[in-house]
């Protein structure tokens, strides 16, 4: 049995997407792949019921037989570190042992297990439940998923080596075209010099990075007035339309697949904005728009979402919306697999693990 | 032609005809009968045996003969199945009077889309829905629910508003004005203004086309068609919704997308459509143009029996672009010898308050012999001895004998001259109650004569590198951007032969130094990021850099400032540009893609005060050399370019070349959504121009 422990320096680095892509590539080769997440992150799906969406996704897509709790032992970090800390003071090994036990139960069932770390490399460091410490406990090599900031990578390397854990190497994820030249010209030679193995980079992909209009709806609540059938449209960015029509259009014309946040009474702005590359209309303050706006939006296949929040609150919520992968999104999952297959030396990862 | 049968209906079905006098289905059938339609009429109603003495059918499918036109006066929901029946029956024209479609909301819009799909399936021409109807006075067909009947005439009216039509007819009857065709466009689900322009251009009974426009649907096709139509007959249009509040009202009226008014005005100009500012203008122009008399110039004579009216008419003439004919010494002498001493014998000719018909007759006959007179405006105010009847006889006689001379009349007042006015109009002489209206009408026919004289535009083509631009645009889209980096936009300008300063995108300070050394100092460094619209506001520009060490420092300063002020901006590097030190006049050239009419080209006074001075002019792309010069001459900066206060003139020729090259760039690349060159420096005559800053934004095709 082989395994890797996927670790990153910051949130939203794309660990889960990479894990999923790698697992699917290996499965295609006939390798049985398991997934383990030592510390889960719960989202409350209904009162009192928390699930980790990453775990649910991997379990569904990889067709894993284990229960959610077997893949990720329930450890209630979400209840706050205060009680967590108290537990640690009583019995420092309590959680650690539970994790090791759970891992031991599944590890022999697979040829290869992908272990996914918590958001950041240092999370739960105080309680010796951070990714580096756990990688040693689970006897697994660390693979860093990074966005190419070399100082962050070197810091992690030093930490891992200083703690006597094993570092497999690194991959870069979500790399913009303008970074490519720097990676080839500067970063790869640098990583070579410091003896850090580099398995490749995955280019930025709008389709993977952009949340859908539906994700905006989930985050903002409110009511979809028209365009329910286009709710899977990708939204690349969100912009407030609060200025004079002409000034606003000058800016809005520069964006593709954007969400326009404005009051429902701004017919003067919404109407011409429907002729731009808009993907979602978010009308704030519960101001129902002119019916003609809805007709035009429907013709243009643009969903219209009416929300209660005022404009600035809406915008702030929009900033927190991230693209998620749902097991239903077959095309997106295929895209994830192909992006790993085409850009990462994944066979080598398996060999080196 | 597409609307041949529509304009020549021999048989008509009224679906939803009714015996209930309060229903529209009754009014329409009654109008068709009462207006004297000579073809076959088929009332259709499930529950009636006979309506207004005509046999009633339960469906069009029951009618054995062919039906040319079906009028729908049924509930909106029933329209779909009835349209299917019409399709099966082979009916090729329908008018959907019924409201309750797009204008009422989403459900209505969906219903309208379904109805359109059925019409397309059976190749049916559909007018409406939500219309007043259609009137053809030659064919004696009034398929509308108007309360009064228009008189026959040679003016066609196309209107997006039904109420404008009913009011116009109501007004036209006492004014003794007639119409050839009246078309209410409504929601324009299928047939729109362009279809009817095309058809009316072939209609021998129509001499002038008047339009009330809220929106135009197929902008590009409209321009192409209208340009052809105006060669045959004049089009006068009034655009409603030109104020911001008006545009909002229009957008919530028929569900129209009221485009920018500038786009509409430039589009009308490009087509040679005469624009009316008010409804009065629309009909004044219409009345005058329906005479089909076109002046050979703008030199007119004003004949009046009242000094005040003459002065008002003179003022109005000047404002409307007309010129008062200056008489020669012999001509003046002729008037002096034959008119009373007190009469004013210079233009305007004041024949005095005691003038009877003979004095008017003498002046009219004399003016007809003066070559320089291209048009005559007759004013008459009611005075003690004024002979309305006799003078009217004189004018009618003169008018019929001098078919080449455009003539308009203004009978001031209202009570004493009603009969006279009515008689003039019956004889086709345009007659008005106020001097300004008469002058406007004359100006309208003069405008049309200018339009007729215009040669067709010739658009110059320069040797350019189109495919290299395509490559840049493709690259930008593949990079998930719509905005070109400055280095890319400069390259595009270069491929189109526009003079640009040397520009390179540097990713590192070392690269920047290398480029600066190659192009020579001084240089300018600018941040390169598609997310930043105003570079200088963020400290993203440093000018006048004279040595390599400064390049390094400036590079780092720019990156630091911008990263701090806009941390989320995607930064591609820093643009290194050869600094242009030579002084010139700052001009702006811009373009914007209008969703209806395509690229709207703008030029004018450039620099940082563009938005305050607003000294700019617009044309629809493409532009000819003549257009470019005309556009420039509409701005104040043009006078500066020609040289003021002892300054030498600027290189206007090179500026015009630049405008034409940009016009070609836009024509070749419909993908360009917005283009902004500000400033373009114009140097002294023969020294050329140079672009200092250019921004280009693209538009993806809709899926």
How is chain B split into domains, by residue range? 11-288, 292-453, 502-578, 585-698
> Quick check: A292 and B530 CB within 8 A?
no
| CB-closest option in A181, A255, A298 to B507 | A181
- Least confident range from A64-73, B110-119, B393-402: namely A64-73
Decide: A115 and A31 in contact? Cβ < 8 Å.
no
Decide: B45 and B36 in contact? Cβ < 8 Å.
no
pLDDT surpassing 60 at residue B255: no
Give the model's pLDDT for residue A76.
Answer: 59
Choose among B133, B126, B99, B101: nearest CA to B27. B133
The better pLDDT of the pair A79, B454 is held by B454
> Quick check: A253 and B674 CB within 8 A?
yes
pLDDT surpassing 90 at residue B681: yes
For range B593-612, the mean pLDDT: 87
Give the model's pLDDT for residue B175.
Answer: 83
For residue A158, the SS3 value is helix
The nearest alpha carbon in chain A to B702 belongs to A277
What is the dihedral angle through the alpha carbons of B603, B608, B611, B612, rounded to the nearest 10 degrees? Answer: -120
Could you tell me which CATH number the domain at A2-206+326-352 has?
3.40.50.300
Assigned token pair, A186: 């500067």
Q: Is B640 left (phi over 0), alpha (psi -120 to 50) or beta?
A: alpha
pLDDT surpassing 80 at residue B249: no
The CATH H-level superfamily of B585-698 is ATP-grasp fold, B domain (3.30.470.20)
Give the model's pLDDT for residue B245.
Answer: 62
Query: Which residues are CB-neighbours of B346 under 8 A, at least 6 positions away?
Result: B327, B332
N- to C-terminal Cα separation, chain B? 32
Q: How far is B616 from chain A (nearest CA, A)?
A: 16
Give the model's pLDDT for residue B246.
Answer: 58
The nearest alpha carbon in chain A to B477 belongs to A256
**A229 in contact with B, Cβ within 8 Å:** no
Bridge partners (DSSP) of residue B408 are B377
**B595 in contact with A, Cβ within 8 Å:** yes
**A226 in contact with B, Cβ within 8 Å:** yes
The nearest alpha carbon in chain A to B530 belongs to A254
Distance CA B31, CA B148 (A): 9
Query: Which residues are CB-neighbours of A128 under 8 A, at least 6 positions away?
Result: A92, A96
pLDDT surpassing 70 at residue B42: yes
pTM: 0.84
| CB-closest option in A178, A256, A299 to B700 | A256
| CB-closest option in A176, A251, A292 to B251 | A292
| CB-closest option in A256, A290, A300 to B252 | A290
pLDDT surpassing 50 at residue B256: no
Name the band, by pLDDT with cuts 50, 70 and 90, for residue B252.
very low
Same fold yes or no, B11-288 and B292-453 = yes
**A265 in contact with B, Cβ within 8 Å:** no
Q: Confirm or reject CATH 3.40.50.261 for domain B11-288, answering yes or no.
A: yes
- Burial code of A80-117, b = ≥16 C-beta within 10 A, e = fewer? eeeebeeebeeeeeebbeebbebbeebbeebbbbbbbb
Distance CA B483, CA B415 (A): 66
**A152 in contact with B, Cβ within 8 Å:** no
- Burial code of B185-221, b = ≥16 C-beta within 10 A, e = fewer? bbbbbbbbbbbbbbbbbebebbbbbbbbbbbbebbee
Give the model's pLDDT for residue A196.
Answer: 96
Give the model's pLDDT for residue B247.
Answer: 57
> Quick check: B252 and A292 CB within 8 A?
yes
For residue B526, the SS3 value is strand
Axis-axis angle for helices B261-271, B219-232 (nearest 10): 40
Choose among B297, B585, B265: nearest CA to B442. B297
Q: How far is A117 from chain B (nearest CA, A)?
A: 27
Percent of chain B with pLDDT over 70: 97
**A253 in contact with B, Cβ within 8 Å:** yes
> Quick check: A181 and B104 CB within 8 A?
no
Q: How far is A43 from chain B (nearest CA, A)?
A: 28
Residues of A whose CB is below 8 A from B588: none
Q: What Å distances lie between residue B569 and B18, B52, B276, B369, B480, CA to CA?
A: 67, 74, 48, 76, 14
Beta strands in B507-625 (DSSP E): 523-528, 541-545, 573-578, 585-594, 598-605, 616-620
**A295 in contact with B, Cβ within 8 Å:** yes
The CATH H-level superfamily of B502-578 is ATP-grasp fold, A domain (3.30.1490.20)
For range B364-369, the mean pLDDT: 95
The nearest alpha carbon in chain A to B106 belongs to A295
The nearest alpha carbon in chain B to A176 belongs to B479
What number of other Cβ atoms are within 10 A of residue A41's Cβ? 17
**B482 in contact with A, Cβ within 8 Å:** yes
Name the band, by pLDDT with cuts 50, 70 and 90, for residue A314.
very high
Q: Where are the domains of chain A?
A: 2-206+326-352, 211-319
> Quick check: A254 and B530 CB within 8 A?
yes
Q: Is B146 left (phi over 0), alpha (psi -120 to 50) or beta?
A: beta
* Cis, peptide link before residue B622, omega less than 30° from 0: yes
**Residues of B (221-260) whose Cβ lies below 8 Å from A:** 244, 247-248, 251-252, 255, 257-258
Decide: B302 and B314 in contact? Cβ < 8 Å.
yes
**B114 in contact with A, Cβ within 8 Å:** no
This model of the complex carries an ipTM of 0.78
Name the band, by pLDDT with cuts 50, 70 and 90, for residue B250.
low
Choose among B579, B588, B641: nearest CA to B617. B588
What is the helix (H) or strand (E) element at residue A114, kind and residue range?
strand A112-116
Assigned token pair, B598: 């395509």
Using one digit for the tens of pLDDT, what is the confidence trace for B180-200?
Answer: 999 999 999 999 999 999 999
Give the model's pLDDT for residue B703.
Answer: 59
Give the model's pLDDT for residue A80.
Answer: 53
For residue B517, the SS3 value is helix
Q: How far is B44 from chain A (nearest CA, A)?
A: 33
Beta strands in B393-451 (DSSP E): 407-411, 431-432
Decide: B11 and B66 in contact? Cβ < 8 Å.
yes
**A236 in contact with B, Cβ within 8 Å:** yes
Residue B459, phi then psi, degrees to nearest 5: -105, 120
Percent of chain A with pLDDT over 70: 96
Q: Give me the residue label for tokens 């004919």.
A: B325
Distance CA B655, CA B623 (A): 14
Distance CA B616, CA B233 (A): 32
**DSSP letter assigned to residue B684:** B
Decide: B123 and B166 in contact? Cβ < 8 Å.
no
Give the model's pLDDT for residue A77.
Answer: 54
Decide: A174 and A204 in contact? Cβ < 8 Å.
yes
Residue B550, phi then psi, degrees to nearest 5: -70, -30
Name the band, by pLDDT with cuts 50, 70 and 90, for residue B350.
very high
For range A17-24, the mean pLDDT: 96
Into which CATH architecture does domain A211-319 fall? 3-Layer(aba) Sandwich (3.40)
Decide: B364 and B339 in contact? Cβ < 8 Å.
no
The nearest alpha carbon in chain B to A292 belongs to B255
Fold of B292-453: Rossmann fold (3.40.50)
């Amino acid at each position: 049995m082989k395994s890797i422990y996927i670790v990153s320096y910051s949130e939203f680095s794309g660990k889960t997407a990479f894990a999923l892509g790698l697992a699917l590539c290996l499965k295609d080769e006939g390798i049985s792949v398991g997934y383990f997440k030592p510390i889960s992150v719960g989202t409350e799906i209904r009162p009192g019921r928390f699930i980790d969406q990453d775990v649910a996704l991997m379990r569904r897509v990889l067709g894993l037989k284990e229960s959610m709790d077997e893949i990720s032992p329930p450890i209630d970090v979400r209840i706050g570190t205060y009680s967590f800390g108290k537990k640690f003071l009583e019995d420092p090994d309590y959680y650690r042992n539970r994790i090791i036990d759970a891992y031991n139960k599944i590890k022999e069932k697979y040829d290869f297990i992908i272990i996914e770390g918590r958001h950041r490399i240092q999370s739960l460091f105080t309680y010796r439940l951070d990714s580096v410490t756990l990688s040693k406990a689970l006897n697994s090599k660390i693979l860093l998923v990074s966005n190419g900031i070399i100082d962050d990578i070197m810091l992690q390397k030093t930490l891992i080596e200083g703690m006597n854990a094993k570092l497999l190497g690194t991959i870069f994820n979500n790399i913009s075209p303008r970074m490519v030249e720097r990676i080839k010209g500067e970063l790869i030679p640098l990583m070579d010099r410091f003896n850090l193995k580099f398995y490749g980079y995955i280019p930025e992909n709008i389709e993977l990075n952009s949340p859908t209009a539906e994700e905006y709806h989930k985050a903002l609540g409110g009511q979809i007035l028209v365009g329910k059938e286009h709710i899977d449209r990708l939204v690349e960015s969100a912009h407030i339309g609060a200025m004079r029509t002409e000034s606003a259009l000058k800016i809005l014309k520069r964006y593709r697949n954007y969400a326009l946040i404005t009051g429902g009474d701004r017919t003067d702005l919404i109407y011409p904005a429907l002729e731009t590359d808009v993907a979602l209309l978010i009308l704030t303050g519960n101001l129902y728009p002119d019916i003609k706006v809805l007709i035009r939006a429907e013709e243009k296949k643009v969903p219209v979402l009416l929300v209660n929040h005022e404009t600035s609150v809406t915008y702030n919520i929009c900033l927190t919306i991230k693209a998620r992968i749902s097991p239903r999104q077959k095309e997106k999952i295929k895209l994830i697999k192909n992006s790993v297959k085409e850009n990462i030396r994944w066979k080598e990862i398996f060999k080196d693990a | 032609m597409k609307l041949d049968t529509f304009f020549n209906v021999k048989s008509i079905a009224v679906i939803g005809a009714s015996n209930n006098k309060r229903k529209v289905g009754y009014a329409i059938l009654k109008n068709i009968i009462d207006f004297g339609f000579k073809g076959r009429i088929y009332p259709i109603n499930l529950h009636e045996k006979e309506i207004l003495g005509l046999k009633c059918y339960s469906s069009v499918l029951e009618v054995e003969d062919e039906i040319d036109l079906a009028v729908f006066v049924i509930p909106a929901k029933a329209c779909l199945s009835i349209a299917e029946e019409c399709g099966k029956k082979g009916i090729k024209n329908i008018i959907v009077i019924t409201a309750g479609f797009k204008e009422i909301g989403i459900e209505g819009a969906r219903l309208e889309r379904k109805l359109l799909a059925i019409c397309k399936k059976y190749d049916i021409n559909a007018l409406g829905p939500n219309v007043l109807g259609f009137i053809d006075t030659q064919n004696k067909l009034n398929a509308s629910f108007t309360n009064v009947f228009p008189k026959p005439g040679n003016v066609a009216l196309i209107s997006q508003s039904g109420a404008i039509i009913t009011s116009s007819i109501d007004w036209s009857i006492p004014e003794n004005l007639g119409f050839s065709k009246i078309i209410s466009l409504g929601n324009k689900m299928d047939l729109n203004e362009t279809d009817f322009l095309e058809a009316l251009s072939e209609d021998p009974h129509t001499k002038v086309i008047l339009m009330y426009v809220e929106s135009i649907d197929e902008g590009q096709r409209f321009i192409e068609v209208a340009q052809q139509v105006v060669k045959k007959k004049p089009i006068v249009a009034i655009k409603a919704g030109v104020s911001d509040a008006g545009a909002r009202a229009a957008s919530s009226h028929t569900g129209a997308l009221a485009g920018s008014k500038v786009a509409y005005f430039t589009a009308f100009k490009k087509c040679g459509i005469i624009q009316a500012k008010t409804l009065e203008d629309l009909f004044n122009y219409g009345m005058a143009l329906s005479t089909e008399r076109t002046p050979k110039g703008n030199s007119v004579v004003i004949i009046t029996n009242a000094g005040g009216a003459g002065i008002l008419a003179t003022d109005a003439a000047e404002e409307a672009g007309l010129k008062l004919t200056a008489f020669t010494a012999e001509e003046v002498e002729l008037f002096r010898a034959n008119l009373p001493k007190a009469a004013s014998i210079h233009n305007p000719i004041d024949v005095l308050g005691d003038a009877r018909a003979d004095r008017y007759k003498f002046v009219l006959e004399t003016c007809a012999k003066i070559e320089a007179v291209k048009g005559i405006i007759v004013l008459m105010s009611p005075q003690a001895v004024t002979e309305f009847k006799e003078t009217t006889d004189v004018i009618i006689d003169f008018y019929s004998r001098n078919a080449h001379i455009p003539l308009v009349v203004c009978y001031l007042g209202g009570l004493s001259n009603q009969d006279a006015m009515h008689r003039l109009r019956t004889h086709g002489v345009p007659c008005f109650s106020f001097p300004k209206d008469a002058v406007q009408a004359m100006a309208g026919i003069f405008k049309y004569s200018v339009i007729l004289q215009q040669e067709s535009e010739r658009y110059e083509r320069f040797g350019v590198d189109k495919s290299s631009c395509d490559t840049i645009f493709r690259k930008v889209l593949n990079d998930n951007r719509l905005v070109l980096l400055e280095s890319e936009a400069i390259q595009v300008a270069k491929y189109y032969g526009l003079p640009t300063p040397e520009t390179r995108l540097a990713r590192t300070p070392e690269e920047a130094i290398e480029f600066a050394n190659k192009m020579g100092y001084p240089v300018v460094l600018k941040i390169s990021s598609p997310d930043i619209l105003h570079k200088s506001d963020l400290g993203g520009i440093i000018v006048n850099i004279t040595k390599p060490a400064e390049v390094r420092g400036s590079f780092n300063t720019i990156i630091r400032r911008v990263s701090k002020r806009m941390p989320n901006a995607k930064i591609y590097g820093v643009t290194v540009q050869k600094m242009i030190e030579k002084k010139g006049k700052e001009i702006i050239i811009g373009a914007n893609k209008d969703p209806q009419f395509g690229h709207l080209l703008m030029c004018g006074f450039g620099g940082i005060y563009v938005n305050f001075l607003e000294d700019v002019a617009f044309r629809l792309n493409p532009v000819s050399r003549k257009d470019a010069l005309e556009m420039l001459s509409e701005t104040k900066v043009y006078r500066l370019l020609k040289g003021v206060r002892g300054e030498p003139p600027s290189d206007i020729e090179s500026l015009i070349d630049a405008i034409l090259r940009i016009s070609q760039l836009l024509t070749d690349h419909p993908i360009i959504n917005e283009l902004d060159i500000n400033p373009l420096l114009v140097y002294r005559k023969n020294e050329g121009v140079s672009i200092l800053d250019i921004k280009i934004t693209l538009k993806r095709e809709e899926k």
